[in-house]
Chain A
Amino acid sequence: MTVVSTEPEAAVAVPAERPRLRLSPGAGRGLLGWALPAVTLLAWEGLARAGAISANVLPAPSAVLAAGWELALSGELARHIAASSGRALAGFAIGGGAGFAFGLANGLSARSRALTDTSLQMLRNIPHLALIPLVILWFGIGEEAKIFLVALGVFFPIYVNTLLGIQGTDPQLVEMGRIYGMGPRALFVRVILPGALPAIFTGLRYGLGIMWLTLIVAETIAAKSGLGYMAMQAREFMQLDVVVLSILIYAALGKLADSLARGLESATLSWHPAFQRPAATGRRAR
């Protein structure tokens, strides 16, 4: 990997150029990102109230909010969210764990790679959602079916990126570690794994996206609980507000997962020039 040096002086100079702005530049940019959604939401509400958008096509945000409030009071909403999140996490833990383990094994051992990589690359070409009919035949519409699909979907991005990360290890750094007497354990912990982390995080975030996507499809087709089931029930009774609500909750959960991953990423990769905020690049003696 190449590490591009950043000029601390130049980076620190940015906030100084804008003394009138009371918010830190990071917070300003964060707020700016919310401006467009807020405007969209207001416009949507306005158009719905003015009757420009029929309630049969798209209910107003306030109607969606009201439906959400009702479902929340009855406890129904929490039950569905818990069911969906449980499946997501279980599938992610299984598929992500296996992908990580295979990625490590195949990155570190040529023998393991020779044994399993070709087979895994072949399986990767099967779209996992194409397996839904088969999975329903195998597992019925129980929990296993959905967890299996999520795990399968999450496995490949994590496997491929972990493998890439480990294979991208700088051989000069490994040689350096050996010269200084690092054993295999120390080499892995101090040289190989940290170098692979940026790629692993890419896989993690990609896997989280696939996790929600798989779950949405699986729950809409075959489930007795969860957000997808809630949406399909609502569709039967023409409760458009609940349908929209479940879509929005899916989006929020996806965003939450991605934000958590990003937070973890920037905390772990603070050494990486791409993650160094201006304030963090100054000299800092411990």
Chain B
Amino acid sequence: MAFDSSSAPAFTLHGVRRSFGAKRVLDGVDLSVPQGQFLAIVGKSGCGKSTLLRLLAGLDRPDAGRIEIGRSGDGAGQAPGTRIMFQEPRLLPWERVEDNVAVGLTGIATGPEARARARAYLAEVGLSDRAGDWPAVLSGGQRQRVALARALVGQPGILALDEPLGALDALTRIEMQRLLERIWREKGFTAVLVTHDVAEAVVLADRVVVLEEGRIALDLAIDLPRPRRHGSAEAAALEQTILDRLLGRDG
């Protein structure tokens, strides 16, 4: 079992609201996520998924309500709370792969220690041999793996992912899903994945929530054994439940 649902919350949202102008994007979101859980958020385009993640990562403030980030128990002290990964890798084109990963250690480690830790995480994502390359010569999937190493090298308690695999081709996507799952199980952080792909949500997450009209419309536990495979019968049934909700058919 990768996580224990009775563990302390990694973060809790209490009645979170956020409006842009007259448009109320989040309208009272309540959500409590235990430490180590893999949560997937799905919803129609423009329903506020990115807005929710940005609030969680502290890039934006809610208009009303509270966001509590749980303190990870061990007194690591300097470890960052939340890291966010976007659909674009956002690597610095003028720094080598290894130095890009070390950006994740800003204010945490410098010099040889940062280098060693960056290398360890590059190995984790299977790119040890590209440490000295420029980002421009990597493929899209490889760049996204560098971004993943950068997000994780500081050992955050929560990793927020905003459609990180959205721009990848189908095969690379599946490879990345496996990689993400393996690293998540190894490191035990709390993962919050925003995705358009319901199958991806079901194959990766412990729990899927559907966001609709600014609220959580469906909160579904996915109790399938890991490692999971695309296309199993149980997964298909869960996917159908989620799709029905998304497409507005009551099932």
Contacts and interface: CB of A to CB of B under 8 A. Distances in A.
B224 interface: no
A283 B132 contact: yes
A249 to B, nearest CB: 37
Interface stretch (A106-114, A169-177, A201-209, A253-261): A169-177
B92 A173 contact: yes
A271 B107 contact: no
Contacts of A197: 94
The B interface is mostly helix, strand or loop, or mixed, namely loop
B185 interface: no
Contacts of B95: 190, 271
Given A172-B86, A172-B88, A286 B93 contact: no
B interface, size bucket: 20 to 34
B106 A186 contact: yes
Contact of B92 (A6, A194, A281): A194
A122 interface: no
B83 A179 contact: yes
A181 interface: yes
B232 interface: no
A15 interface: no
Contact of B133 (A186, A195, A272, A283): A283
B132 A286 contact: yes
B106 to A, nearest CB: 5
Contacts of B88: 172
Interface stretch (B30-38, B39-47, B136-144, B197-205): B136-144
Contact of A5 (B83, B104, B139): B139
B93 A285 contact: no
For B95, B96, B98, B134, the residue with the greatest tally of chain A CB atoms inside 10 Å of its CB is B134
Contacts of A194: 92, 94
B137 A8 contact: yes
Contacts, number: 73
A77 interface: no
Given A175-B59, A179-B59, A4 B90 contact: no
Nearest to A2: B93
Interface in A260-286: 269-273, 276, 281, 283-286
Given A179-B83, A283-B133, A172 B90 contact: yes
B165 interface: no
Contact of B134 (A177, A182, A195, A271): A271
B79 interface: no
A250 B131 CA distance: 46
Contacts of B137: 5-6, 8, 276, 281
B131 A285 contact: yes
Contacts of B80: 181
Given A172-B88, A179-B83, A182-B106, A5 B129 contact: no
A281 B137 CA distance: 7
26 contacts: A5-B136, A5-B139, A6-B136, A172-B88, A172-B90, A173-B90, A175-B59, A175-B90, A179-B83, A181-B106, A182-B103, A182-B106, A190-B92, A190-B95, A194-B92, A194-B94, A195-B94, A271-B93, A271-B94, A273-B136, A276-B136, A276-B137, A281-B134, A283-B133, A285-B129, A285-B132
Interface of B: 57, 59, 80, 83-84, 86, 88, 90, 92-96, 98, 103-104, 106-107, 129-139, 150
Interface of A: 1, 3-6, 8, 172-173, 175-177, 179-182, 186, 190-191, 194-195, 197, 269-273, 276, 281, 283-286
**What are the 9 tightest A-B residue pairs by CB atom distance, in nearest-first order?**
A194-B94, A176-B90, A284-B132, A271-B94, A285-B132, A3-B93, A181-B107, A181-B106, A271-B134
